[in-house]
């Protein structure tokens, strides 16, 4: 019980203290933040289909140091973890989020914690930029790019 609190506290304290800049319709901003939180929950729960469905049908992920991955089926394959690896925590902090009609961009920092097959744990983090697209009233990730480091 204490471990999740420590992670949350550490994330809030160690994520860079940059003022958040949110621009656009407040309801859209809140919907995007809810979608980002739902994605993190799906990642922790290894719910790969839910993760893939957080992207547009022809969405793209651009992991640091790797080729572009396009489409939900390929995205599921990329996110699927090796046996014995478990994501324990994942969180994002938007630094800038701007809604422009049916598109939005979101940039910020991410942090997480993983348990390896040998039982050891690793904390990790970095920065990201996401292009969101609103389709049929739902905000989905269309381009998701991240890399490690502050």
> pLDDT 10s digit of each residue in the chain, 150 long?
445 434 433 444 344 456 789 999 999 999 999 999 999 999 999 999 999 999 999 999 999 999 999 999 999 999 999 999 999 999 999 999 999 999 999 999 999 999 999 999 999 999 999 999 999 999 999 999 999 986
> Into how many domains does the chain fold?
1
Burial of 144 (0-12, 13-18, 19+ CB in 10 A): buried
Residue 10 forms part of a structural domain: no
How far is Cα 70 from Cα 57, in angstroms, rounded to an integer?
Answer: 9
Note down the domain range covering 129.
20-148
Residue 133, domain member (yes or no) = yes
Q: Let me know if residue 6 belongs to a domain.
A: no
In-domain check, residue 68: yes
Which DSSP state fits 16? -
pLDDT of residue 18: 60
* Rg of the Cα atoms in the chain: 15
**Predicted model pTM:** 0.85
Q: Which residues contact 90 (CB under 8 A, 6 or more apart)?
A: 40, 43, 44, 110, 111, 112
Is residue 103 in a domain?
A: yes
CATH no. for residue 87? Answer: 3.10.450.50
Q: What is the pLDDT of residue 24?
A: 96
């Amino acid at each position: 019980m204490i471990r999740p609190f420590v992670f949350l506290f550490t994330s809030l304290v160690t994520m860079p203290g940059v003022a958040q800049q949110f621009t656009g319709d407040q309801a859209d901003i809140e919907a995007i933040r809810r979608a980002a939180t739902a994605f993190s929950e799906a990642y922790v729960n290894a719910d790969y289909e839910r993760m893939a469905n957080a992207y547009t049908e022809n969405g793209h992920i651009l992991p640091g140091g790797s080729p572009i991955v396009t489409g939900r089926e390929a995205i599921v394959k990329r996110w699927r973890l090796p046996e014995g690896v478990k994501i324990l925590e994942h969180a994002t902090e938007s630094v800038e989020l701007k809604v422009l009609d049916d598109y939005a961009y979101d940039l910020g920092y991410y942090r997480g914690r993983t348990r390896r097959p040998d039982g050891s744990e690793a904390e990790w983090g970095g920065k990201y930029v996401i292009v969101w697209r609103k389709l049929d009233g739902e905000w989905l990730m269309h381009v998701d790019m991240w890399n490690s480091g502050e």
